[in-house]
Amino acid sequence: MSVRVIFFIGLLVLTGCSGDKIMESEKQAGMNVVIDDNEARNTRTGEEKPEKIQHSQRRKNAESHSVEPLREGINQKLLRMGKVGLGDLFVRPSEIPVGYFQTWFSTWNMNTGSYLTFSFENDFLNYSDRYYTNGLRLDYAGPHLSHFPLHRILFPYRGQGMNYYGITLVQHMFTPFTTKTGGVHEGDRPYAGYLYFGFYKISHDAKREIRITSEIELGMIGPSSLGEQVQKAFHAITPENSEPLGWENQVKDGFVFNYSLLFSKMLYRGRYHEFNFQAGGKVGTLHDQLSTGFQFRIGHLPSFLSHELLSRPLPADKGIFKNLDYHLHLQVEGRLIGYDATLQGRMFANSDPYTLPAGDIQRGVMASNVGFQVSYGRFSLLAEQHLLSPEFKGGKWHKWIKLAITAGF
């Protein structure tokens, strides 16, 4: 537990330090230089200009010179990397005057588009009803979300690239191998569900061919996640499905706080295919794990370094198909599991009706998915088949289908 606490404190120390005071002092210093210069010139000439003329001249000089000290201040911040907190290096758009980018190239850009995505995951299309049995996710991304205070503890990327900020609402639910019999199923997966609100940042760097995604998740695990109600409602409207029994033994209510980070790197890109590497990790009260893997895509596709619906330059000689993208993809990754609250129960409590002991957890897990995505204009459809190796001793391989629709605007 102490390692996890130290990790969170370290993140807050590194990214929580604000550069507002430094920026303010640099702006003030620039204004003082302009004003003092005017006063000195008036003293040398022995002339005293009328008050209106002095005020007009000071404002004109301030507007023409205020950019320079601010730009120099930002440059000094970048040079001091490693000597101050990362938060001191963060520059907000509101702190940059008009005309700044005309004389100094920014190391980051804010995406101006927005998109909305709805994702649905379930195993009923694979004729099963067990383990990870249902998932719902709603995403919204837009440039104005960069003003959320939580962005300060997301990964502070400093390279040249495009930033996307988004929020998400996620619900996942888990059951034992069968839901047709009630009671506790010893040696099987416990009932569990969680619901969380997430805030994330995606940084694309085309020059270095990397993408970095960081996310903060805040929510609940247990009955408050409404997993029982959603599964029972879904079973009630689908044919040949009986009411799931045993939810009274689910993991009890507990707070969810998780931080996740995913790094992706393009290894090779051809005209119609690309090969990427990725590695990431999660830490918190819900999941503690490390992962690494590869992704292969083939088709008429934009670079994975740009968002399919918001930033994808396409050749102009493709006729009516110039706005159409489509590709197949295959992804394989290995996971090292440290803690899983859906299997082991709440992290800071031991009064759950039934959970699996730590010794029954499979620490090494393999996950893969194969899918097809098609995008036209600002709309995208995705279908994926997921496969997961056993997560606990005596468990079985599991698979489920994911469907998603995205609209950009």
Same domain, 310 and 355: yes
Average pLDDT, 10 consecutive residues per value, the chain (409 residues): 45 40 39 41 45 50 46 47 39 40 40 86 91 96 87 80 90 95 93 97 87 95 96 87 92 97 94 94 97 95 61 48 84 98 93 95 98 88 97 97 92
Same domain, 46 and 163: no
Domain boundary among 66, 82, 106: 106
Same domain, 260 and 305: yes
Domain boundary among 62, 88, 106: 106
Same domain, 251 and 134: yes
- State how far the Cα of 236 lies from the Cα of 230, in Å rounded to an integer: 10
Same domain, 29 and 101: yes
Q: Enter the pTM of the model.
A: 0.72
Q: What is the CATH number of the domain that holds 158?
A: 2.40.128.140
Same domain, 82 and 176: no
Show the tokens assigned to 217.
């998740």
Same domain, 279 and 379: yes
Nearest to 308 by CA among 208, 205, 381, 384: 381
How much is the pLDDT for 240?
75
Structural domain harbouring 247: 115-408
Same domain, 124 and 246: yes
194 close to 242: Cβ distance less than 8 angstroms: no
Exposure string (b/e) for 136-175, b if CB count within 10 Å is 16 or more? bbebebbeebeeeebbbbbbbbbeebbbbbbbbebbbbbb
227 close to 173: Cβ distance less than 8 angstroms: yes
Structural domain total, the chain: 2
331 close to 372: Cβ distance less than 8 angstroms: no
How much is the pLDDT for 265?
94
Same domain, 145 and 18: no
- State how far the Cα of 28 lies from the Cα of 362, in Å rounded to an integer: 58
Same domain, 325 and 276: yes
How much is the pLDDT for 1?
46
Backbone angles phi, psi at 124, to 5 degrees: -70, -30
Same domain, 168 and 316: yes
Same domain, 36 and 133: no
Domain boundary among 106, 132, 154: 106
